[in-house]
Chain A
Amino acid sequence: MRYTPHTADDKRRMLREIGLDSVEELFEQVPRSLRERARIRLPDGLSEPAVLRRLASLAARNGAASGWSFFLGGGSYHHAIPGAVDAIVSRSEFATSYTPYQPEVSQGTLQALFEFQTLVCQLTGMEAANAGVYDGASAAAEAVLMSRRVQPAGRRRVLVSRALHPQYRQVIATYLANLEGLRLEEVGYDASGVTDVAQLADRLGDDALCAVVGYPNFFGAVENLEPLRAACERAGAQLISVTTEPLALGLLKPPGEFGVPIAVGEGQSLGVPMAFGGPGFGFFATQKKFIRSLPGRLVGETVDVEGRRGFVLTLATREQHIRREKATSNICTSQTLCALAATVYLSLLGRSGLRRLAEINLSRAHRAEALLAARAGLRRRFSAPFFNEFVVQSRDPEALMRRCAEHKIVPGIPLGRWYPELADAVLVCVTEMNEGEEIEKLATIAAA
């Protein structure tokens, strides 16, 4: 099928206007040697029902579609998404618009992003936020780059907690590998499952740039940011908090209240489907004094010639548009539609709903943890407080995975692939989507 509307008559008339006989004459500037080899070797196009059939058959081969129970988190979370969210993000005025370069006809996107920036500030307890970046992992890498822009030049060591999401650590490493002089070092976690404060304090020094920790961290454990921030501050380094499960901030003390200078994370939990890991969006918040060093897109309030309030993209001079080789980042997208989904989602939950949902997640996860320990002997590996994810010990995680799979259950994520010392550990996640019966069944089968 085709999405081009041109009839044979249309083509003839248009070519006549241009003064040509064939469409081929339009690309005569392309060397013949290239044109001769340009034929695309792909099958013919399909009808719309055939396209859907093909995609539906691929989709059907994914376990999610066929009655499986998942206890998977690790940076991507299954939460209920109110129908109102998709109704709004499906509106073509939002979905099919471009970056709001013409503010007079983009107030919808711009105001929504201004509201989004405000919600991120409220959620994180920070003073300023951008309009979103690609994902949580690249947000973490951009946070390190921003730290480099605002910190004195001599600081070259970037300390990363081993309890930070392993993929986020990999992305930070990739970004830093190309920049001269920055060195990445890992800081271990303690027996309770949080970043080892004493080790961090030891490793900090007057050449440390920043320290990056998860909040909650990859093990689901809630770090106490207070001593971490204090240790960083004593050494003149910046603490960067990274949140992969922002729903936790409905209940936990926000990074801003700990005095954290840069708080970033992944926003998928807030009204965006998991979609096999993307798209979601990265959020990025900081203190007011750093707004000119923020990466990515920013929306600001202003007035029009008649004095009416309006919104525009602003402070773009930091960006790739002007002084291009001096740009603070090359980010050219803000995952706007996903940020819009989060704005609608958070507006629906509101002040009380967000907290209640966070409490439901925490409470179900804790009941599940108790049940797994009591009935299946799967004990917690760490003792730190947790939100909706926790690590359990299992003698043989692979066997546990296999046994559960027979009953269409995925009990969690075996951690051995990233943590050799945790080869006997599984990360279990419980959200409001995991019903009581499902949890009972998991405990029963895990016990078998």
Chain B
Amino acid sequence: MPPSPPPEAPGRDRQPLIFETGSPGRSAFSWPEEPSLAAEVLPAGLVRADIPGFPEMGELEVLRHFTRLSQRNFGIETNFYPLGSCTMKYNPKVNEAAARLPGFALAHPLAPAALVQGAMELLYELERALAEIGGMDAVSLQPSAGAQGELTGLMVIRAYLKERGDPRRKVIVPDTAHGTNPASSTLCGYEVVQIPSNEEGVIDAPAVEKAMSEDVAALMVTNPNTLGLFEKHIEAAAAAVHARGGLVYLDGANLNALMGIAKPGDMGVDVLHMNLHKTFATPHGGGGPGAGPVAVKRFLADYLPVPRVEKQDGMFRWVEDCPKSIGRVRSFFGNFGVLVRAYAYILALGADGLEEASRMALLNANYVRKKLEGHYSLAYEQPCMHECVFTDRLQHRHGVTTLDIAKRLLDYGFHPPTIYFPLVVSGALMIEPTETETPETLDAFVAAMIAIAEEAKNTPEVVKNAPHTTPVRRLDEARAARRPILRWEPPRQGGGENAG
């Protein structure tokens, strides 16, 4: 047996901050010397003295640091990652190669349009493909993320109603909505009216009708909803909203369940956003970049953000002059690099492949649901779409909670499902296997979940104290919030490390 390493050695259990390594004078920057004009052209009062505390490391040192950090991370290429509502599917490598083509990676956004026709054609074609998949008419690719797409979509609704001389103040959001929905509504200046889902876990038209008034701008609904259920009354609900002059917004974060199965545009939806980093297989990158295009019905097209890309006589051009547009929601044209990946994914799959993706997402989710039934309590009995929601009701009687189950899964080598969401389910465990997983992986996951259910009965302490095998164990989140330390600071003279 090898001797155990000294406790302070860098590695799995400990990796110093970059500020705590390196040595004064070290740098990986290498460039031929060039005389500097800084002293001649900049007034002394505008020049900084130094950057105290900045890293000083060699190239290999930097690489080792970040490689070691990467080893303290789960990604979908290292572990099964069934995060509900987050859609962690495989990110095809060919997409990465496409995004790195110099013609895309080195394209400047303010280059004359004649020099970026390839990039513009890609944007144009992607807009059309997304419109077709969503059953919508016009698309803006500008929003940088799903939540920015929500905000953009609501702004479009607001601009349209204002233009019609019918400004309204409220947005109806079901209790099963994504957390960003109410936040986006507020940021758009709306008051949020929450409505409950019924005993089946979906909204019904009477509930919408009851909440509806001449002051409601929109119903903002997620379909399939965050319980993994299809909002089967959506057409009736949409009719109720339209009858009183409101619009229907669909949060398309769960579009992965719908491709070829149902088009939002056919459900009475007026505005839809799509998360390319979910349905269209672009990597989540630890929390971004994503992209959140917004699709609308024809009567709202004029309100989309500028610029729009148009095709005229075989040439693509930017159109900025759109008097009804809400304006611009970010610089340039959106997260283009993400859009390239999504376009490559759509090209590779085509209509059949996209439809098969959704079908297999449903198959995998229902398979997991069936296999875990009885071992965990289901939140709702009916078949699910691409994710299923269990609760900790059966384990709770042994003092084991959803959080404990999630942490114990880490010991088994699985990323936990989404937990405590949706908020309407107590102790929720929301599992979304996605379509790219084999049944063998699902079986292994199910076996781990069942083993944990057994442990909860027989050796609950093992579960309650999990994880046992990760680089760090349960972290004190309350302390982090109570005494926030958000940055490293140089040690003070005479000891005392990293005072906040």
A and B found bound together: yes
A117 CB contact (under 8 Å) in B331, B333, B367, B486: B486
Q: What 1/0 flags go to B308-350 for Cβ under 8 Å of A?
A: 0000000000000000001111111111111010011011111
Do B118 and A57 have beta carbons less than 8 Å apart?
A: yes
Which residue of chain A has its CB nearest to the CB of B49? A253
Cα A301 to Cα B42 in complex, Å, equals 39
Do B38 and A279 have beta carbons less than 8 Å apart?
A: no
Question: Does A395 sit at the interface, judged by CB under 8 A?
Answer: no
Do A102 and B416 have beta carbons less than 8 Å apart?
A: yes
Cα A14 to Cα B363 in complex, Å, equals 8
* B100 CB, nearest partner CB in chain A, Å: 8
Do A64 and B108 have beta carbons less than 8 Å apart?
A: yes
A93 CB contact (under 8 Å) in B73, B266, B281, B331: B73
Q: Which residues of A contact B360 (CB under 8 A)?
A: 4, 6
Which residue of chain A has its CB nearest to the CB of B328? A170
Q: Which residues of A contact B488 (CB under 8 A)?
A: 114-115, 118
Cα A18 to Cα B187 in complex, Å, equals 44
* A325 CB, nearest partner CB in chain B, Å: 4
Do A70 and B31 have beta carbons less than 8 Å apart?
A: no
Q: Which residues of A contact B17 (CB under 8 A)?
A: 111, 114-115, 118
Question: Does B352 sit at the interface, judged by CB under 8 A?
Answer: yes
Do B78 and A93 have beta carbons less than 8 Å apart?
A: yes
Question: Does B18 sit at the interface, judged by CB under 8 A?
Answer: yes
Q: What 1/0 flags go to A252-289 for Cβ under 8 Å of B?
A: 11100100000000100000011111110100000000
* A126 CB, nearest partner CB in chain B, Å: 9
Question: Does B151 sit at the interface, judged by CB under 8 A?
Answer: yes
Question: Does B9 sit at the interface, judged by CB under 8 A?
Answer: no
Which of A6, A91, A351, A357 lies at the interface centre, i.e. has the most chain B CB atoms within 10 A of its CB?
A: A351
Question: Does B110 sit at the interface, judged by CB under 8 A?
Answer: yes
Q: Which residues of A contact B71 (CB under 8 A)?
A: 93, 108
Cα A289 to Cα B226 in complex, Å, equals 37
* A46 CB, nearest partner CB in chain B, Å: 5
Question: Does A320 sit at the interface, judged by CB under 8 A?
Answer: yes
Question: Does B427 sit at the interface, judged by CB under 8 A?
Answer: no
Q: How many residues of B contact A (CB 8 A)?
A: 200
Do A5 and B436 have beta carbons less than 8 Å apart?
A: yes
Q: Which residues of A contact B350 (CB under 8 A)?
A: 42-46
Q: Which residues of B contact A332 (CB under 8 A)?
A: 145-147, 180
Cα A99 to Cα B147 in complex, Å, equals 14
Which residue of chain B has its CB nearest to the CB of A138? B330
Q: What 1/0 flags go to B244-278 for Cβ under 8 Å of A?
A: 00000000000000111111001100000000000
Do A314 and B481 have beta carbons less than 8 Å apart?
A: yes
Question: Does B222 sit at the interface, judged by CB under 8 A?
Answer: no
Interface residues of A in 10-51 (CB under 8 A from B): 10-11, 13-15, 17-19, 23, 26-31, 33-35, 37-46, 48, 50-51
Known: A40-B260, A102-B416. A334 touches B351 (CB 8 A): no
Q: What 1/0 flags go to B359-376 for Cβ under 8 Å of A?
A: 110111011001100000
B115 CB contact (under 8 Å) in A62, A109, A362: A62
B353 CB contact (under 8 Å) in A2, A86, A118, A179: A2
Known: A95-B91, A178-B189. A251 touches B38 (CB 8 A): yes
Cα A274 to Cα B102 in complex, Å, equals 10
Known: A171-B331, A348-B59. A107 touches B472 (CB 8 A): yes
Q: Which residues of B contact A359 (CB under 8 A)?
A: 34, 36-38
Q: What 1/0 flags go to A51-89 for Cβ under 8 Å of B?
A: 110111111111111001010101110100010101110
Comparing A127-135, A155-163, A201-209, A229-237, the segment that makes contact with chain B is: A127-135
Known: A40-B260, A102-B406, A335-B288. A95 touches B27 (CB 8 A): no
Cα A273 to Cα B336 in complex, Å, equals 11
Cα A305 to Cα B183 in complex, Å, equals 34
Interface residues of B in 465-500 (CB under 8 A from A): 467, 470-477, 479-481, 484-488, 498, 500
Which of A86, A105, A346, A360 lies at the interface centre, i.e. has the most chain B CB atoms within 10 A of its CB?
A: A105
Question: Does A180 sit at the interface, judged by CB under 8 A?
Answer: yes
Question: Does A438 sit at the interface, judged by CB under 8 A?
Answer: no
Cα A348 to Cα B27 in complex, Å, equals 6
* B267 CB, nearest partner CB in chain A, Å: 6
* B122 CB, nearest partner CB in chain A, Å: 5
Q: Which residues of B contact A106 (CB under 8 A)?
A: 72-74, 286
Do B108 and A334 have beta carbons less than 8 Å apart?
A: no
Do A62 and B486 have beta carbons less than 8 Å apart?
A: no
A347 CB contact (under 8 Å) in B48, B55, B98, B415: B55
Cα A178 to Cα B157 in complex, Å, equals 11
* B193 CB, nearest partner CB in chain A, Å: 10
Known: A29-B383, A122-B52, A274-B109. A6 touches B29 (CB 8 A): no
A350 CB contact (under 8 Å) in B55, B362, B480: B55
Which residue of chain A has its CB nearest to the CB of B78? A93
Q: Which residues of A contact B406 (CB under 8 A)?
A: 102
Which residue of chain A has its CB nearest to the CB of B66? A88
Cα A353 to Cα B354 in complex, Å, equals 47
Question: Does B132 sit at the interface, judged by CB under 8 A?
Answer: yes
Do B116 and A327 have beta carbons less than 8 Å apart?
A: no
Do A63 and B111 have beta carbons less than 8 Å apart?
A: yes
Q: Which residues of A contact B229 (CB under 8 A)?
A: 29
Question: Does B1 sit at the interface, judged by CB under 8 A?
Answer: no
Cα A105 to Cα B48 in complex, Å, equals 39
Q: Which residues of A contact B475 (CB under 8 A)?
A: 103-104, 302-304, 310-312
Do A54 and B28 have beta carbons less than 8 Å apart?
A: no
Cα A386 to Cα B31 in complex, Å, equals 22
A41 CB contact (under 8 Å) in B79, B102, B351, B477: B351
B63 CB contact (under 8 Å) in A5, A87, A104, A170: A87
Which of B41, B287, B500 lies at the interface centre, i.e. has the most chain A CB atoms within 10 A of its CB?
A: B287
Q: Which residues of A contact B230 (CB under 8 A)?
A: 27, 29-30
Comparing B82-90, B390-398, B452-460, the segment that makes contact with chain A is: B82-90
Known: A6-B363, A167-B331, A277-B331. A364 touches B34 (CB 8 A): yes
* B165 CB, nearest partner CB in chain A, Å: 17
Do B69 and A108 have beta carbons less than 8 Å apart?
A: yes
Cα A144 to Cα B235 in complex, Å, equals 40
Which of B179, B333, B438 lies at the interface centre, i.e. has the most chain A CB atoms within 10 A of its CB?
A: B179
Do B115 and A1 have beta carbons less than 8 Å apart?
A: no
A340 CB contact (under 8 Å) in B181, B286, B487, B500: B286
Do B145 and A353 have beta carbons less than 8 Å apart?
A: no
Question: Does B302 sit at the interface, judged by CB under 8 A?
Answer: no
Q: Which residues of B contact A353 (CB under 8 A)?
A: 27-29
Known: A6-B360, A75-B331, A337-B288. A62 touches B103 (CB 8 A): yes
Do A325 and B108 have beta carbons less than 8 Å apart?
A: no
Do A42 and B351 have beta carbons less than 8 Å apart?
A: yes
A54 CB contact (under 8 Å) in B27, B65, B347, B472: B347
Q: Which residues of A contact B283 (CB under 8 A)?
A: 95-96, 337
Q: Which residues of A contact B183 (CB under 8 A)?
A: 319-320, 324-325, 327, 329-330
Question: Does B301 sit at the interface, judged by CB under 8 A?
Answer: no
* A99 CB, nearest partner CB in chain B, Å: 4
A137 CB contact (under 8 Å) in B121, B129, B331, B479: B331
Do A334 and B329 have beta carbons less than 8 Å apart?
A: no
Question: Does B299 sit at the interface, judged by CB under 8 A?
Answer: no
Q: Which residues of A contact B476 (CB under 8 A)?
A: 302-305
Known: A56-B101, A92-B76, A276-B333. A314 touches B261 (CB 8 A): no
Question: Does B155 sit at the interface, judged by CB under 8 A?
Answer: yes
Do B330 and A171 have beta carbons less than 8 Å apart?
A: yes
Q: What 1/0 flags go to B168-180 for Cβ under 8 Å of A?
A: 0000000000011
Question: Does A441 sit at the interface, judged by CB under 8 A?
Answer: no
Closest 6 CB pairs of A and B: A353-B29, A277-B332, A59-B103, A277-B109, A337-B285, A61-B118
15 A-B residue pairs with Cβ-Cβ distance under 8 Å, sorted by A, are A3-B90, A4-B435, A17-B367, A26-B366, A45-B352, A92-B75, A98-B81, A112-B69, A122-B51, A145-B187, A305-B474, A305-B476, A335-B285, A348-B59, A363-B38
Using A91-B70, A274-B109, A350-B26 as known contacts, list a sample of 5 further A-B pairs with CB atoms less than 8 Å apart, ordered by residue number in A: A14-B364, A57-B118, A61-B121, A63-B115, A129-B487
